[in-house]
A and B are shown apart, each in its own frame.
Chain A
Amino acid sequence: MNAYQLLKKDLLIELRSRETVISMLSLAVMISVLAALGIQNSFLEPKAVMRVFPVLLWIGFIFAGTVSITRSLHYEYEFRGIDGVLTSGVSPGTIYISKMIVNTIVSLIMFTMLLIFLSGLLGVDLSGLLGNMMFVGLLCSIGYSALSTLCSAMAIHARLKEILLPLILIPLLFPLFFGGHELTAQLLSNTFEMGSPWVTLLIILDLIYVVIGFNLFEFAARG
């Protein structure tokens, strides 16, 4: 089995079961409705809504993602599929990259839906910003998936597996959260630049987390 076949297998599993993407999207819709109801009942000025929008967006992203992200690895462990893949000669690093790519795609879809729902319900105008918003979403999704894929391999068999993943993952996500939040705020206030140090920081974070995940996944998976 080569890397391409492995990625195809992971994508097919996700496409057929749709477990991760459906649970993430449903959570994204629920979070959007809850956030919008809270904001509407606070009678905030439109300018104030624009200022809280990035916080709501990224908290929603982290919450919906962290609750659902373990599904992609759960399949492998539940049916001992990972043992079969490892004995077929595929390196653990390749398994990690394959899982990470699938998680990035799913996270990006979830980010897009959250963005559309939240902006629609809160009346935030994103016309002309969608391309750059997706770029920021992609940068954060890569870093997020790189970290969460590694951490979910560590939490999947723990006694408190459902709660342990957010507990170990969220403190590590702060630089990504700051980056995503600041760039979204810059986009909404029309001060965004491609050369912003926040963009550089997110790219560096993505690279570091992917390299660490690629090298340490073997230890996380095998123990």
Chain B
Amino acid sequence: MTSHTSRWNIIDWALWLSTTLCIPYSLYYVFAVVPNERVMGPIQRIFYYHVGSAMACYVAFALVFFAGIFYLATKEKKYDHLSAAAGEVGFVFCTIVLISGMIWGHTAWNTWFRFEPRLVSFLLLWLIFLSFSLLRTFGEQGKVATHSAILGILGAVTVPLMIYSIKLLPAAAQLHPQVVENRGLKDPLFYQALFISTTALVLLQFLLIRIRYRIETLSNDTVG
């Protein structure tokens, strides 16, 4: 076991502190400060965590992509550990996006799931994260790091193309609200709550990735 992985450094403490401050503050802001949305009522508050988790999921996916490129270029283990950590945490956040979206969708559209472009694109992103996790678990021993780096790159290239391909589907299929793009949030408090909850969730995601990265590094050092 090496000392650099067993001790917390300034980044760990900063992440831990900022996350533990931001999460309760976002809960307070979303549930005590922001007023009810006029049409949807209290269920709309799930929006702040739904969008925040989606942002965290995109960040995790970008990390998987860049860690994959750096691993293939340098073959340094730290990039593989980062890729493994970001892949797992991204999968968790992608699941949160899907579940929160389904709860919201059930209230708004009276159905748990509709084959609508944004919903489908997140479902497919979730499937890519799932296949990434399966490859890491059941892949060829000794080559998993390289293979998962390739899959991360392939997945990251496929996702934008997939979103573009889904947008080519007929307009009748579009149902998901384009809230931010259409400036649908009338009260400035809505934007502030969205910013705070997104920041809190992205920080939480970085903290989880950092913890998972340390576990991966420690277990690798122990095995090695």
In the bound complex, residues from chain A placing their C-beta under 8 Å from that of B153 are 212, 216
Selected interface stretch from B80-88, B91-99, B131-139, B176-184: B131-139
The size bracket of the interface on B is: 20 to 34
A157 engages B140 (CB within 8 Å): yes
Encode A196-223 as 1/0 by CB contact (under 8 A) with B.
0110010011001000100010011001
Residue of B nearest to A168 (CB): B131
Chain A residues with CB under 8 A of B151 = 151, 154, 168
B142 and A164 form a contact (CB under 8 A): no
- B131 and A158 within 8 A (CB): no
Sorting the interface of chain A by its residue count into under 10, 10 to 19, 20 to 34 or 35 or more gives 20 to 34
Q: Which of A125-156 contact B (CB under 8 A)?
A: 147, 150-151, 154-156
Give the chain B neighbours of A216 by CB distance below 8 A: 72, 150, 153
Chain A proximity mask over B129-158: 1 for CB below 8 Å, otherwise 0: 011001100111111001101110111011
Q: Is B124 an interface residue (CB 8 A)?
A: yes
Which residues of B are found within 8 Å of A175, using beta-carbon distances?
Answer: 158, 161-162, 164-165
Closest to B163 in A: A175
Contact B162 A208 (CB under 8 A): no
Cβ of B172 under 8 Å from chain A: no
User: Of B141, B150, B165, B168, which one neighbours A219 at CB under 8 angstroms?
Assistant: B150
Contact call A197/B168, Cβ cutoff below 8 A: yes
**Is B102 positioned at the interface, with any CB of A under 8 Å from its CB?**
no
Most buried by A among B142, B166, B168: B168
B52 to chain A, nearest CB (A): 24
With an 8 A cutoff between CB atoms, is B67 at the interface? no
- Tell me how far the C-beta of B154 lies from the nearest C-beta in chain A, rounded to whole angstroms: 6
Q: B108: CB under 8 A from chain A?
A: no
- Decide: A158 and B138 in contact? CB cutoff 8 A: yes
Which chain A residues lie closer than 8 Å to B135 at the CB level?
Answer: 154, 158, 164, 167-168
In the bound complex, what is the Cα–Cα distance between A140 and B9 (angstroms)? 50
CB of B139 within 8 A of CB of A164, answer yes
Tell me the complex Cα distance, A188–B138, Å.
41
Residues of chain A within 8 A (CB-CB) of B43 are none
CA of A158 to CA of B157 in the docked complex: distance in angstroms?
24
Q: Say yes or no: A220-B150 contact (C-beta < 8 A), given A168-B134, A171-B130.
A: yes
Q: Is the CB of A219 within 8 A of B138?
A: no
Say yes or no: is B128 at the interface (Cβ < 8 Å to chain A). Answer: yes
Q: Do residues A205 and B161 form an inter-chain contact, with CB atoms below 8 A?
A: yes
Report which of A157, A171, A198, A205 forms a contact with B131, defined as CB distance below 8 A: A171
Shortest CB distance B174–A (Å):
15
Whether, in the assembled complex, A172 has its beta carbon less than 8 Å from a beta carbon of chain B, the answer is yes
Pick from B146, B157, B162: contact of A212, CB under 8 Å: B157
Residues in B neighbouring A212, C-beta threshold 8 A: 153-154, 157
A160 close to B138 (CB less than 8 A):
yes
- Contact B146 A201, beta carbon cutoff 8 Å: no
Given the contacts A158-B140, A171-B131, A198 and B168 also touching, CB distance less than 8 Å: yes
Most chain-B Cβ atoms within 10 A of its Cβ — which of A155, A167, A168, A175?
A: A168
Using known A-B contacts A159-B138, A164-B135, determine if residue A201 contacts B164 with beta carbons closer than 8 Å. Answer: yes
A157 CB contacts on chain B under 8 angstroms: 140, 143
In the complex, which residue of chain A has the Cβ closest to the Cβ of B147? A154
Q: How far is the CA of A156 from the CA of B140 in the complex (A)?
A: 8
Alpha-carbon separation in the docked complex, A203 to B29 (Å): 48
Inter-chain contact B166/A178, CB cutoff 8 Å = yes
Q: Mark A162-201, 1 if CB is under 8 A from B, else 0.
A: 0010011011101100110010000000000000011001
What are 27 A-B pairs with beta-carbon distances under 8 A? A155-B139, A156-B140, A158-B138, A160-B138, A164-B134, A168-B131, A170-B131, A171-B124, A171-B127, A171-B128, A171-B131, A171-B158, A172-B131, A172-B158, A174-B165, A175-B164, A175-B165, A178-B162, A182-B169, A201-B161, A205-B161, A212-B157, A216-B150, A216-B153, A219-B146, A219-B150, A223-B140
CB within 8 Å of B: which residues of A? Answer: 147, 150-151, 154-160, 164, 167-168, 170-172, 174-175, 178-179, 182, 197-198, 201, 204-205, 208, 212, 216, 219-220, 223
Enumerate the 5 nearest inter-chain pairs by beta-carbon distance, A residue then B residue, closest first: A223-B143, A171-B127, A154-B147, A157-B140, A175-B165
